[in-house]
Structure 1
């Protein structure tokens, strides 16, 4: 039986600098986890840590018409462009579908984002991503943001001002129970 584990660390300055944001009020923490579709880490972590609505920003490169039909069948509001789809998740069944996409995309090297905050609108969430400069959300008012999570193959980068999870010790309490904490590689 494979034991699932995570490590929780304060982010290195290089990770912090890989995003363009007003970081004075935010803590940046990395959760290292090996993402596999059957583990559902993203669903379990986000589902127990945050309240709805949640926005997700995903690349459209992996979403064909069949996948978009699933989004519509789940009655998920969305806004799409040539490169990105932004979805608004309001309930757990929708979260299960979208978090599954996030993990699938992460496994093939495409990152996605979860955003939670107050009075956020679709139009604010178009990212600008280039290989040579930090990712930015130029239309997002960072004062509205509570948490932004970058979901990648090696884990999640949590940018938050949420008092419940703004330290590694506090965040530890929100890790799904199926996962052990790698204390040797965590910042506690």
Structure 2
């Protein structure tokens, strides 16, 4: 059975989860039940060139940290269990997409950044239970696109004209998935 996905402009409640510069990014939600590695891997590979940065805010699942260490994936560790990984190869992208999906399906968010002049140290998130997530050091002028991966899909924040509308985003999703037009802003 082919999995369906929908694409919509994001609701304010999703946008307000992050402390981002006002009016800088358009926000689009891609919803898919039980996100899978091939969906995320194909999406990121189709959308971006290397390097791409993944922020694993909480690697509470020990096997993910073990994978990062065993495969000798260069990473920047922050906090007790957070990693920022600069991805510059297809092989590393596939491994980290697999880890990302595992985290997302267990209720943890992972953030993906693409832009010019980004570095690992700039992407350290600051979160408090009563405030939106912040990236205090990050110069958002360098960010082309920021993606929040969660258990029911993705939220894309972008100022890039290539994918700043629901219709444009569908061009980057694998044809193995079917667009639910009835629930999409197309």
Cα RMSD, aligned residues only: 1.3
Count of residues in correspondence between the two structures: 183
TM-score (norm 2): 0.93
Q: Which runs of 4+ in 1 moved over 4 A?
A: none
Partner of 1:87: 85
TM-score (norm 1): 0.92
| Equivalent in 72, 77, 91 of residue 74 of structure 2 | 77
Per-residue deviation, 1:162:
1.4
Per-residue deviation, 1:36:
4.4
Per-residue deviation, 1:129:
1.8
Task: Give, in whole Å, the separation in 2 of the partners of 1:36 and 1:168.
Answer: 18
1:63–1:80 CA distance, 2 compared to 1 (3 A): farther
- Runs of at least 5 residues in structure 1 that lack an aligned partner in the other structure: none
Per-residue deviation, 1:24:
1.7
- Runs of at least 5 residues in structure 2 that lack an aligned partner in the other structure: none
1:172–1:36 CA distance, 2 compared to 1 (3 A): closer
1:70–1:44 CA distance, 2 compared to 1 (3 A): farther
Q: Deviations over 1:65-114 (max 9, x none)?
A: 53232341xxx321112131000000111100001111000111011011
